């Protein structure tokens, strides 16, 4: 299904819009409602984050959301339940998780249960190909797309190694920093996307920093997918109540969806 989502976007001469929220935020039901609203407003692919107590890659915005989810008791079972609810919206759903929770849960068991919930893939930002043999085998057995990250510092050889084990798409981190909305998109991201395309035919999606339609249009001009997380989380954090938050993420998703369908200003 991930390939289908990118193919549909390509047919429409645009990039795919990928939206992220951690499961259990702003509440278990609120997360499902927000993700469903995002899909209705134009998000093509959904990432459901598995809250983790040591999120090395996440900035303060996502950390705040994850803390709330963990305090409410959100764990792997709640993540799987969220996936099961959101797949009813008709878009591919991936789980975004650090490696430790997967290893603790059981590699084969985790892959099987994500697939059973209707998930299409799993993003593991801190897993390397060298340490991922069992995981890659488990994903293959469960029919899941494993998505790994590449960074601006990655050598061409490293890009080829990582891309060779990815499924669905390659996640290109636009900066070397943590997650978070930024005033401007990284200037090195276009070069990174070009380098990745030199070693794989998979779509390349760019994440870290996109927060508005203008930035989405800019990234969509050179990448196959635009990944947005912190901006959606911030919209919920800044809202006085859950219903207001749902309206805020709906408006943001519509704005971003318009962005990936437009050309950046000259």
Catalytic residues: 47, 58
Among 205, 211, 203, 220, residue whose Cα is nearest residue 253: 211
Question: In 10 A of CB 33, how many CB atoms?
Answer: 20
The closest alpha carbon to 173, from 96, 264, 253, belongs to 96
Is the C-alpha dihedral spanning 260, 50, 151, 63 positive or negative? positive
What HEC string does 239-256 produce?
CCCHHHHHHHHHHHHHHH
Q: Report whether 72 contacts 242 (CB < 8 A).
A: no
Residue 190: Cβ within 10 Å count: 17
- Contact indicator for 6, 225 with CB cutoff of 8 Å: yes
Work out whether strand 16-22 and strand 204-207 pair parallel, antiparallel, or are unpaired.
Answer: unpaired
Nearest to 14 by CA among 260, 263, 184, 195: 260
Can you tell me the distance from the alpha carbon of 160 to that of 156, in angstroms, rounded to the nearest whole number? 6
Can you tell me the distance from the alpha carbon of 255 to that of 16, in angstroms, rounded to the nearest whole number?
Answer: 14
Backbone φ and ψ of 156, nearest 5°: -60, -40
């Amino acid at each position: 299904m991930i390939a289908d989502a990118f193919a549909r976007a390509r047919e429409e001469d645009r990039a795919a819009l990928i939206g992220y929220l951690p499961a259990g935020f702003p509440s278990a039901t609120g997360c499902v409602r927000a993700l469903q609203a995002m899909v209705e407003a134009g998000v093509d692919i959904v990432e459901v984050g598995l809250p983790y107590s040591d999120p090395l890659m996440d900035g303060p915005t996502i950390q705040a959301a994850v803390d709330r989810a963990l305090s409410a008791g959100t764990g792997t079972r709640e993540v799987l339940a969220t996936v099961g609810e959101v797949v009813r919206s008709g878009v591919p759903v991936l789980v975004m998780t650090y490696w430790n929770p997967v290893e603790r849960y059981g590699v084969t068991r985790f892959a099987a249960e994500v697939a059973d919930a209707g998930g299409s893939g799993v993003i593991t930002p801190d897993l390397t190909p060298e340490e991922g043999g069992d995981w890659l085998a488990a994903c293959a057995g469960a029919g899941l797309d494993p998505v790994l990250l590449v960074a601006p510092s990655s050598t061409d050889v490293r890009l080829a190694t990582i891309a060779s084990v990815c499924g669905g798409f390659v996640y290109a981190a636009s900066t070397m920093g943590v997650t978070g909305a930024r005033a401007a998109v990284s200037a090195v991201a276009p070069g990174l996307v070009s380098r990745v395309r030199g070693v794989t035919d998979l779509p390349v999606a760019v994440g870290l920093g996109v927060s508005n339609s203008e930035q989405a249009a800019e990234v969509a001009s050179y990448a196959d997918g635009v990944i947005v997380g912190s901006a959606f989380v911030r919209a919920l954090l800044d809202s006085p109540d859950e219903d207001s938050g749902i309206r805020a993420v709906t408006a943001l998703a519509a704005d971003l969806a318009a962005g990936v369908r437009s050309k950046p200003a000259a």
